[in-house]
Amino acid sequence: MERAHNEFSSPACGGGGEPPNAVSRKGARGHAPIVAALCLMLGTTAAQAGWQDRASPYDAQRLSRLDEARAKAMQEASAGSDMGIIAPVMNAQGAMPSGSDLVGSWRCRTIKLGGITPSVVYSWFSCRISDRGGVLYLQKTSGSQRTSGFLYPGDGGFVYLGASTVNGEKPHAYSGNGASVGAPATPDDQIGLLTMIGPNHARLEMPYPVLESTMDVLELQR
- Dihedral sign for Cα atoms in the order 51, 56, 59, 63: positive
Phi/psi for 80 (5° steps) reads -100, -170
Residue 175 phi, psi (nearest 5) = -90, -25
Global pTM? Answer: 0.76
Domains annotated for the chain, with CATH where assigned, are 2-54 (no CATH), 57-221 (2.40.128)
> Which of 3-12, 53-62, 130-139, 173-182 shows the lowest per-residue confidence on average (mean pLDDT)?
3-12
pLDDT at 175: 87
Residues in the chain: 222
Least confident residue range of 5-9, 192-196, 203-207: 5-9
141 closest CA partner among 133, 130, 152, 132: 130
Nearest to 190 by CA among 162, 170, 215: 162
Give residue 194's pLDDT band: very low, low, confident or very high (50, 70, 90): very high
How far apart (Å, rounded) are the C-alpha atoms in residues 72 and 53? 28
One-letter amino acid identity for 141? T
pLDDT tens-digit series, residues 112-163: 999 999 999 999 999 999 999 999 999 999 999 999 999 999 989 999 999 9
Q: Within its chain, how far is the Cα of 71 from the centroid?
A: 21
Q: How far is CA 167 from the centre of its chain?
A: 22
Q: Residue 198: which region, alpha, beta or left (left: phi > 0; alpha: psi -120 to 50)?
A: left
pLDDT in tens, 57-95: 999 999 999 999 999 999 999 999 999 999 999 999 999
pLDDT at 184 (0 to 100): 61
pLDDT at 13 over 70: no
Average pLDDT value over all residues in the chain: 81
Q: Is the pLDDT of residue 7 over 90?
A: no
Q: Which helix (H) or strand (E) holds 3?
A: helix 2-6
- ∠ at Cα 200 (128, 85), nearest 5°? 95
For 87-111, write each residue's pLDDT tens digit.
999 999 999 998 888 999 999 999 9
Q: What is the pLDDT of residue 179?
A: 58
Rounded Cα gap, residues 158 and 149, in angstroms: 12
